[in-house]
Structure formats: C-alpha cells, structure tokens
Amino acid sequence: MRKTLLSILLVGFASASQAQQAALPTNVQSIVDRVMPQVVEWRRDFHQHPELGNREFRTSGIVAEYLQYLGMEVRTEIAHTGVIGILRGGRPGPVVALRADMDALPVVEQVQLPFASIERTLYNGQDVGVMHACGHDNHVAILMGVASVMAQMQSELPGTVMFIFQPAEEGAPEGEEGGADLMLKDGAFADPRPDAVFGLHVSPIPVGAIAVRKQGMMASSDEFKITVHGQQTHGAQPWAGIDPIVVAAQIVLGLQTIPSRQLDVTLTPSIVTVGAINGGVRNNIIPESVEMIGTIRTFDADTRDEIHERVRRTATQIAASAGATADVSIDIGYPVTANDSELTDKMIPTLRRVVGPGLVESPRVTGAEDFSYFAEEVPGMFFFLGVAPDNPELVFPNHSPSFFADERALPIGVQTMTALALDFLNGN
C-alpha cells in the first residue's frame, strides 16, 4: 500500500500540472510550475507534523518565516498562532484576502504514507494521536505556493493581497477562544480592510472538480442543552412525582416537528438533532432531572433565529404541560457559510477557466466552517477542491483516520487561488 500511494502521488502531480496549462497566462503558469515541487514538500512536511488548534507553533513559524523571506509585511500571534502576510502591489488597486486554516484533529492516522503522522499530544486531558484528517495541510501548502507566485509578480499587481493563515478552525481547546472570530477581534481586517475574501477546502470529490454555490453553502452550527426538572419518586409510584424522562421523550419528539412541521421546508433545509440524553441511576427510581444535548443546523440566518426561539418554546411548554420545568441554553456556534452572490457570479468564469467542465454546483453541506465569520465581514466566496483519488477504495470523508488527499489537486489549488486573486485585482 505504501508504494502504491506514493506512486499515485508522484505520477498524479505531474499529470495534473500538465493538464492545467491554460488556467493562467503563460508567464504566471511558468512561475506556478517552478514552485510546485516546494508546495508538495511543504504539504508532506505539514502532514507529517500536524498540530491541534491554538497550538500550531511549528506550522505558523514556518509560514511566518517564509512570508518574511518573500519580503511581505508579516503579523504574527493573531488569535494566538495566526499569521497574516500583506503583499502590496506596485500599482494602486483593491485589497483581496486569501485564507488557509492550519489546525489538525485528534485522530490517529491509518493511511500508510511515507510521511504519515505519528504525532501524539494532550487534548482536553487525554493522550491522543494527531492527524490532518480534514486536509488543512493542503490548504497551508497551497496558500504558501500562491504567496510565492504572487511575490514574484509584486511590481505588476494592481492592489494588495492579504494571506491569512488561521488557527483553530476545528475549534479552540476547552476554555479558550480561537479561530476566525478571534482573528477578527484581534484586528485581522482592520488595516488594510479587504474588499473580498476567498477560501477553499479539500473535499473527497474527484480531482479536477471544484464545487461552489451562491448563498448558503455550509450550515450554521449551534449547540443546545435542555435540562428537564421533575420530581423524584419511586418507579413503582410515578403518580407521586413528576417524571422528567417521559417529559424529555416528549420534548425530543416535539423538537422534530420544528423542521418538519413548523418551518417552510421549501426555503431552506434545517436540522434539530438530540445527540445525548442523560438521567437517572437506577431502574426503579424516577430521577429529579434529565439533561439532553444536541445540535441545530440551517442555511439561513433568519431561520436560525426562528429555530432557536421554537426550541425554547417547545421545550418549556411541553415541560410545563406535565408540571415540570425546562431550562434551555443555546451555545451560538459558526454562522452560515454564505457566498456573496455578486462576487460568486463575478468569479465563476475564473473557476471555469481553471477546471472547465469540472466546475459543478455544490450541494448544501450540513457541516460548518468558520470562514463564515470572514464572509460576514466582507464579500466572500468559499469553494471545495476535489482531492479524491481515482481508486474508490482510497476515498474516505474528511475527519476519517483514512482520509487521503491526492496531490494531483495541489497545482489546481494554487492555480485557482492565484487566478481568483489576479482576476479580482484586475477587475476581470
């Protein structure tokens, strides 16, 4: 398996580079071709040495050092380990931001690669393996490649490019802040303020494909906790108390009617999922309380607010009907990742130029992304880059210990982000 995967990587990289020659002007493409071996080397190094959110010390150090080598203005320690490089072009023009996330996941890698991760660390008090199971190693390497390309064109650029290397997209450690939201609080977009921001995410769709859609592309993600308070009694005498388990069961069923019966299902998909219920310690004792936790997902900001209100009302009123009470708390998570319609329409020809018929409309994805915070601040466009190998036995979803990214996608990623930045700056 090790030899087979390495062969795929090496052969695939060469074939993809040759297949995409028309994506950029010849002079720009020649620069891309020269930097690609270094991009592959970076990607493998980051993959072999993954770091969890807010702990990307090695990764951010390599990034910052290279951006400084390229002569950029470099800001470090933004949101703990974030790095921003600012490349000011030789001519006046707009400001465009390009973003890559750097963090890995507490997953033990099961892919037999020569550069597989064997890293371990502490996560929430537990000894865990660490792996780039979501492919952020590719994102960092791609954006470093774009930085290298554009630094060599600096005098020709009509405007400014911000290279944002973000920590903790997968979430900060317990008790800490992090990610895109904290970068913005730390002034990431203060000076200069970008006119647009672009981001990509590798996805197990075929190499050569790019998927994008306007408006809600990835869901908002909120956590809820409902604690039902009843009155403890003997299990053989339920009438002597108030059974919070039965009330909790009724609340679970009631919550399911929110997306299926209370919202206009033609507007946007929505999900209310109860992921855990805990209550009681013995078979013949009705407990005092029951706690349930779950997640809320949707693709529209107004619908998100409406669901929150309906969850609170459903839980409290069902509980009240049985003589119980319910405390409802909702932890606001990532917003909807919504692509600006005007910006997306403007940049679709750029994407099509890079991948031709490989450009497809993305389905809505119920996963969440904190690129959404950047896209709430300025017009944004986020897209999926296909990294699935041709062999279906090697295709696994993001966050799987067997997730495998085909390196044929790396030059496509560099070309796409470079083309988006150049076309936006030039007003194409």
91-101 vs 196-206, strand pairing mode = parallel
Phi, psi for 57 (deg, rounded to 5):
-70, -45
Within 10 A of 325 (CB to CB), how many other CB atoms are there? 17
E strands, 238-348, where?
270-278, 285-286, 289-298, 325-331, 337-339
Q: Which of 328, 407, 423 is nearest to 141 (CA)?
A: 407
Pair of tokens at residue 27: 């002079």
For tokens 């973003």, the residue is 99
Peptide bond into 411 cis (omega under 30): no
- Catalytic: 123? no
Which one is catalytic: 51, 170, 369, 407?
Answer: 407
For tokens 């910006």, the residue is 343
E strands, 172-214, where?
196-206, 210-212
Which residues are 97's β-sheet partners?
A: 162, 197
In whole angstroms, give the CA distance from residue 390 to residue 386.
11
- How far is the CA of 341 from the CAs of 22, 303, 349, in angstroms? 26, 19, 14
For tokens 């990431």, the residue is 188
What radius of gyration do the chain's Cα atoms show?
Answer: 24
Give the CB-side neighbour count of residue 90, counting CA atoms within 13 A.
8
Which one is catalytic: 334, 342, 361, 377?
Answer: 334
Question: Amino acid identity, residue 209?
Answer: A
Pair of tokens at residue 22: 């028309």
- Catalytic: 334? yes
Degrees (nearest 5) of the Cα angle 339, 340, 345?
100
> To the nearest 10°, the Cα dihedral for 34, 40, 45, 49?
140
Helices (H), strands (E): how many in the chain? 10, 18
Burial (Cβ within 10 Å: 0-12, 13-18, ≥19) of residue 156: middle
In whole angstroms, give the CA distance from residue 75 to residue 129.
30
- Annotated catalytic residues are 334, 407
